[in-house]
Amino acid sequence: MKDEIKNKLDALFVDDTNRKIKSEQKRNIEAEQQAAFIEQFRAKTDEVIAPAFEDFILYLRPNGWNGSVQRKSETPTGNNYGRGVTSTSSSLERVSLAFTHASRNIKGIHNTNEPHFTVICEKAKRLVTFHEATPSQAGGAGSAKLDDITADYLHEKLVTYFKKLMHDARPYDER
């Protein structure tokens, strides 16, 4: 083989190796940023989210409503995210406020669980997303930057959600 051909091939191999190194560096930086975001979300949960949820429930209790704050940290094993389903979700952390009522038999949509409002850590997007479930509906409820999450912000979101929940949980008239 001519030296000219060998040089062209060697240049291709060097270029390929450099692309591989840059790709690995990019993945490592992204993984570090995602890990840092998860830690920031956990701190925000301890300092803001869970206390805001607890305050909301304390205010509802005299009217027969109760709730519980549930934290969930999923640890993926390979591509299985603990539910027998392959997932590409970037969400590994979530905090939910599940609602109950003393005299109303309310279940989440399809009677699967209690109605809830959930704050989800989307590490790949470095955003916080919201999910809500009432007896008649479930779905996304927007997103926000982690820095925008305050107790007041969450209380506003919860009032909007709770209005839907109260409508779906009315025992005294037809829906």
**pLDDT (tens digit per residue) in 95-139:** 989 887 766 666 555 555 678 899 999 988 889 999 998 877 788
Buried b (16+ CB within 10 A) or exposed e, 70-107: eeeeeeeeeeebeeeeeeeebbbbbbbbbbbbeeeebe
**pLDDT value at residue 167:** 79
Distances (CA, A) of 33 to 12, 123, 137: 31, 8, 34
Q: How confident is the model at residue 83 (pLDDT cuts 50, 70, 90)?
A: very low
Distances (CA, A) of 126 to 40, 72, 133, 158, 166: 10, 18, 23, 22, 32
**pLDDT value at residue 75:** 56
Q: Which residues contact 118 (CB under 8 A, 6 or more apart)?
A: 94, 95, 96, 97, 130, 131, 132
Number of H helices, E strands in the chain: 3, 5
Please say if the pLDDT value at position 23 is more than 70.
Answer: yes
Please say if the pLDDT value at position 82 is more than 60.
Answer: no
